Chain A
Amino acid sequence: RKEVEQDPGPFNVPEGATVAFNCTYSNSASQSFFWYRQDCRKEPKLLMSVYSSGNEDGRFTAQLNRASQYISLLIRDSKLSDSATYLCVVNDDMRFGAGTRLTVKP
C-alpha cells in the first residue's frame, strides 16, 4: 500500500457543483496535513492546512478522520478557476499524494 493515496480522477464537474476528494495515509502517527493546488507545469501552492477539528476557508472545507486515516477536501460552488490538480501531503513523512485532477466546465 502506498503511504499516501489519492483518487487520480479526473473529476469533470459543471460550474456550481460540489466536489469532494479524499486522501488516505498509512502512518497513523502522522500529525501534519495539507492540501496544495498545482496548476499545469507550475509549482504546488498551499491551499489550506488540515486541522483535526476540520476547517473552512470560503468555499473550501478540509477534514481529518484519524480513525480511518484519511483527509478530505470539499469544494462548494465550483468555479472555472478551480480547475487544477489537488495534492494532499502528510508533512511528517514528506509524502505527497499523486494528485487529483479537477476540471470545472461551463
Chain B
Amino acid sequence: NAGVTQTPKFRVLKTGQSMTLLCAQDMNHEYMYWYRQDPGMGLRLIHYSVGEGTTAKGEVPDGYNVSRLKKQNFLLGLESAAPSQTSVYFCASRPPAPYEQYFGPGTRLTVT
C-alpha cells in the first residue's frame, strides 16, 4: 500500500515548455487535489476532483489543466510554463468528508 505517490520528484523547465505531473493513489479515494506551496504562502488549491471524470477549479487554476480519467490518477498539466509557476506541488486524496487528506511527497518544480 503506497498511499499517494507523485511523479516526478524534481523537474527543471524552461519558460514555455510543457509538462505533466502525475499523482496516483491506491486507497480508492474519491476526492483528489492539487496544491502549490510557495514560501510563506501556505498551501493553495489549484484544481480538485470529486470523482473519476470530474474536475473543478480551486483558488489558483490559471496556467494549469487537470484530468481524472481513472479514479486512481490525477494529472496536472502545465501547457506553457512560466517562472511564476516555480513551486512545490503537492497532491492529496481523501474519502468523502469528514475524513482527512493524505498527501504525496511533493514535486519540486523550477521554471527558468
Contacts and interface: CB of A to CB of B under 8 A. Distances in A.
A96 B42 CA distance: 7
Interface residues on A, range: 20 to 34
* SS of B interface (majority): strand
Contacts of A41: 88, 106
Contact of A99 (B42, B45, B97): B42
Contact of B100 (A34, A95, A96, A97): A34
A96 B43 contact: yes
Interface residues of B, number: 22
Interface of B: 33, 35, 40-45, 48, 58, 88, 90, 94, 97-98, 100-106
B40 A8 contact: yes
A62 B90 CA distance: 25
